[in-house]
Amino acid sequence: MSTLNYFNLPDVGEGLTEAEIVAWKVKVGDVVAVNEVLVEIETAKSIVELPSPYAGVVAQLMVAAGETTDVGTPIIAIGQDAGADSFKGGPSAGDEPEMKPLVGSGPKADAVKRRPRRGQGGAGVEHSTPEAKALVTGSLPQAKPAGNRVLAKPPVRKAAKDLGIDLSDVVATGQRGEVTKKDLLSYQDRRTDEPKEAGGFYSNASAGSATGDPRIERIKVKGVRKATAKAMVESAFSAPHVSIFVDVDASRTMEFVKRLKESRDFEGIKVSPLLILAKAVIWAAARNPSVNATWTGDEIIVKHFMNLGIAAATPRGLMVPNIKDAQELSLKGLALALNELAMTARAGKTQPADMQGGSLTITNIGALGIDTGTPIINPGEVAIVAFGTIKQKPWVVNGEVVPRWVTTLGGSFDHRVVDGDLSARFMADVAAIMEEPALLLD
């Protein structure tokens, strides 16, 4: 019997539990060398190419392109012959497998905590709650009878409304019969995981009755969208958000950006007002360090460095890569970093490490023509700044109404860390730089 080496799907990021096989770069019978790219996978955060830890002949491709599989699962077998069929789903009894994760990329397969699969309930296990039974059977619990008002706290009601969930569809486990945060999150997780096909789950009756309607498009929730939804729901529940807004005369920022574009030092570098806002946020956070922090429950971790997150809309969904140690960069260096971040994100090449360890985030909703908004704080942070569109508006200067370039900044803060006076001081400092960029020279 030939010896086959089985390559397990590795954890290419911190805490990765699953990934989708996007495209195989090899086929059965191909001869591969060590570090040759085998496959392209999509994690919850990025597209990643996996190199081969073995040299040999591809014997089996064990997960088909388009399928999602758990970390630690064998995905390819490499041996000395190409006699095995593709997509057999696992090693045969006669093989002598060596299971191996990608070297240096994450925990070994035995150390990975697997999520339970549907249908693995097992005999002799008692599932005492509707939620547990639903997880075992793969079906959602029956909705409560209509006619009675569903009990739920205001934050739960708001989250349900934002998610498009009818609270009467959620099984309540609260002591007084109320729908809890845990109930809603559990319901949302199962709704996300359930296949969107005939006989599957639909969020309301009208959607369910539209089965087969060619005007209805069903998009499976996975990858970036699934991770973003989970993170935003958890953030909205766990961090008490408070938001404030400030109108800013950004006319001098517009003049400054124009001069930078004409400068030979910035030749070939894309420059926009976002550059000045990024510099303003870094400057203001240095003056108000507690907005650059993490809440753990037991302590507040204040970061005296700035990994500045920039929310980026990409073909794969919203991502928030961050510029490491942005406080160390000159204005030109920051401009180059923003250019690189945007190009990498648009190309879908942002790596998991680029989205870890963020300090504070900027979301540029003005690029879409939006004046302002109430952004949700990125998990692990305590502040986010929304940058609205800049447009000419009437503005009072020295008692006269004149046209000025005006924008609105919106900030959301975790009230467990950032009190009202601190959030106001921080936003005022950001606004001050947008109104007079020359302050950065002080």
Task: Tell me which residues are annotated as active site.
Answer: 415
**Residue 77 CB partners (closer than 8 Å, separation 6+):** 4, 5, 6, 7, 58, 59, 60, 62, 84, 91, 95, 97
Question: Taking Cα atoms as reference points, which of 268, 310, 301, 274 lies closest to residue 433?
Answer: 274
Distance in angstroms (rounded) separating the CA atoms of residues 335 and 342 = 11
Phi, psi of 32 (to 5 degrees): -120, 155
Q: Confirm if 304 and 327 have CB atoms less than 8 A apart.
A: no
Task: Identify the burial level of 347 via C-beta atoms within 10 angstroms of its C-beta, where 0-12 means exposed, 13-18 middle and 19 or more buried.
Answer: exposed
**Residue 307 CB partners (closer than 8 Å, separation 6+):** 322, 323, 324, 325, 326, 357, 358, 359
Q: Helices (DSSP H) in 222-373: which residue ranges?
A: 223-238, 251-262, 273-287, 331-346
Distance in angstroms (rounded) separating the CA atoms of residues 95 and 93 = 6
Partner residues linked to 395 by β-bridges: 402
Q: CA-CA-CA-CA torsion for 160, 381, 247, 318, nearest 10 degrees?
A: -60
Distance in angstroms (rounded) separating the CA atoms of residues 282 and 292 = 9
Phi, psi of 217 (to 5 degrees): -105, 130
Distance in angstroms (rounded) separating the CA atoms of residues 432 and 280 = 8
Handedness of CA 101, 104, 105, 108 (dihedral sign): positive
Distance in angstroms (rounded) separating the CA atoms of residues 258 and 256 = 5
Q: Confirm if 392 and 236 have CB atoms less than 8 A apart.
A: no
User: In 80-200, at which residue ranges do the beta strands (DSSP E only) sit?
Assistant: 98-100
